[in-house]
Amino acid sequence: MYKSFILTITLALSLGSCAQNTFNQTVDGYLNFSVDTISTQSFSKIIKQVKIIDARSLTEYSTSKIVGAQFIDFDNPNFNTLQIAKSDTIVVYCTIGYRSEKIGKQLKDKGFTNVFNLYGGIIQWANDSNQVCNPTGMPTNSIHTYDASWGKWLTNLNFQKVN
């Protein structure tokens, strides 16, 4: 019985690890690494000292966001609406990091010097049990995952997938 329990736990942990590796491989396949990335762990340590930009759609942003994030529409970015200086440290995120890398690159091209892309986006942020809030700033457990195909990567059962 004990061996069966240990085997079950080992299998569950290895499957979780495989899922994370597959998620990382998927993210890596979408990124060009034209903007430095930052892990959710590193970001959580400096979150109060940085400017945060959400590069998803308004529908996604209206569901939930990382606390303190400013919205910029990926399809029609207006950088003049952002309250940031060119010397600010900026962390940009989206669902997994693809759109945020594109916005981050545009920021760098405009002369912003300390721009980082949140690796794994809001999905990794939630999977690592970090807080998100609704547009009024109240905590929420809803995460807009862009669509169902990306929703499969949200594995933290404390969050509800919206797409």
pLDDT digits (tens, 9 = 90+) for 123-134: 999 999 999 999
Q: pLDDT tens digit string along 95-144?
A: 999 999 999 999 999 999 999 999 999 999 999 999 999 999 999 999 99
- What is the DSSP track for 87-122? TSEEEEE-SSSHHHHHHHHHHHHTT--EEEEETTHH
Identify the pLDDT of residue 5: 38
| Model pTM score | 0.87
In 4-163, at which residue ranges do the beta strands (DSSP E only) sit? 36-38, 51-54, 65-66, 69-71, 89-93, 114-118, 132-133, 139-140, 142-144, 160-162
Paired tokens of 66: 């990382």
Identify the pLDDT of residue 19: 63
CATH class of 2-162: alpha beta
Identify the pLDDT of residue 18: 54
Q: Answer whether residue 67 shows pLDDT above 50.
A: yes
Rounded to an integer, the average pLDDT of 41-50 is 98
